[in-house]
Amino acid sequence: GDSVTQMEGPVTLSEEAFLTINCTYTATGYPSLFWYVQYPGEGLQLLLKATKADDKGSNKGFEATYRKETTSFHLEKGSVQVSDSAVYFCALIAGNKLTFGGGTRVLVKP
């Protein structure tokens, strides 16, 4: 079946550091890919998405490119802030079924 694998956290880094969270997937067909973010005490919010190969999703300084050849959708941000501390989930939709990765906790220290 479909699956999403993302790096385990927690990832701890300093303010203004570069952030990468790896995400790889297996799916039949041509899934759409998403990154969701969960801030403490809240539900998940859509951060960005890409619907076909080579698409780049971007939002709030975060970017991810849909790489079909490596079945990956890595999340990057060039300069993180304390307010980016959250749990990040990679996800895919294939055949109307949504599959989440296990989540990566990111902690940004001042």
Instruction: Assess 9 for contact with other proteins (CB under 8 A).
Output: no
**Strands 104-109 and 86-94, sheet pairing:** antiparallel
Among 41, 69, 70, 110, binds other proteins (CB under 8 A): 41
Q: Candidates 17-25, 61-69, 76-84, 98-106 — which segment interacts with other proteins by CB under 8 A? A: 98-106
Q: Candidates 16-24, 67-75, 77-85, 95-103 — which segment interacts with other proteins by CB under 8 A? A: 95-103
- In the beta sheet, which residues pair with residue 49? 34
| Binding residue count for other proteins, defined by CB under 8 A | 21
83 SS3 class: helix
**Strands 32-38 and 86-94, sheet pairing:** antiparallel
What is the rounded end-to-end Cα distance, in angstroms, of the chain? 41
Which residues lie near other proteins (CB under 8 A)?
32, 34, 36, 41-46, 49, 51, 89, 93-96, 98, 100-103
